[in-house]
Amino acid sequence: MTVRIGITGAAGRMGRALAETICQREESCQLAAAVERPESSLLGADIGELLGVGSSGTEVKPDLAAVIQGLDVLIDFTVPEATLSHAQVCALHGVPMVVGTTGFTAAQTADLHAITHDIALCQSANFSPGVNLALRLTEAAARALGDSADIEVVEAHHRHKIDAPSGTALALGDAVASARGRALSEIAVYAREGRTGAREPGSIGFSVIRAGDIVGDHTVIFAGEGERLEITHKASSRAAFASGAVTAACWLVGQPAGRYSMQNVLASEEVGP
Ligand code: NAD
Residue identifier of the C-alpha nearest atom 18 of ligand 1 = 82
In the set 161, 218, 233, 234, the catalytic residue is: 161
Tell me, yes or no, if 218 is annotated catalytic. Answer: no
The pLDDT assigned to 54 comes to 83
Q: pLDDT tier at 69 (50, 70, 90 boundaries)? A: very high
CA of 48 to the centre of ligand 1 (A): 19
- Give buried/exposed letters for 184-205 (b at 16+ CB in 10 A, else e): beebbeeeeeeeeeeeeeeebb
Q: What is the pLDDT of residues 232-251, one digit of tens each?
A: 999 999 999 999 999 999 99
User: Where is pLDDT greater, at 54 or 229?
Assistant: 229
Q: For the residues of the chain, what is the DSSP string, one character each? A: --EEEEEESTTSHHHHHHHHHHHHTTTTEEEEEEE--TT-TTTT-BHHHHHTS---S-BEES-HHHHGGG-SEEEE-S-HHHHHHHHHHHHHHT--EEE------HHHHHHHHHHTTTSEEEE-S---HHHHHHHHHHHHHHHHHGGGSEEEEEEEE-TT--SSS-HHHHHHHHHHHHHTT--HHHHEE----SS--SPPTT-EEEEEEE-TT--EEEEEEEE-SS-EEEEEEEESSSHHHHHHHHHHHHHHTTPPSEEE-HHHHHHHH----
Q: What is the pLDDT of residues 166-214, one digit of tens each?
A: 999 999 999 999 999 999 999 999 999 999 999 999 999 999 999 999 9
CA of 8 to the centre of ligand 1 (A): 8
**Residue 272 in this model has a pLDDT that exceeds 80:** no
Q: What percent of the chain has pLDDT over 70?
A: 98
Q: pLDDT tier at 52 (50, 70, 90 boundaries)? A: confident
CA of 82 to the centre of ligand 1 (A): 9
Residue identifier of the C-alpha nearest atom 4 of ligand 1 = 12
Q: What is the pLDDT of residues 95-113, one digit of tens each?
A: 999 999 999 999 999 999 9
Ligand 1 atom showing the smallest separation from residue 158 Cα: 25
> Per-residue pLDDT averaged across 43-70, rounded?
92
Q: pLDDT tier at 270 (50, 70, 90 boundaries)? A: low
CA of 4 to the centre of ligand 1 (A): 20
Q: pLDDT tier at 273 (50, 70, 90 boundaries)? A: very low
- Pocket lined around ligand 1, Cβ cut-off 6 Å: 8-9, 11-15, 35-37, 40, 77-79, 82, 100-103, 124-127, 241
Tell me, yes or no, if 61 is annotated catalytic. Answer: no
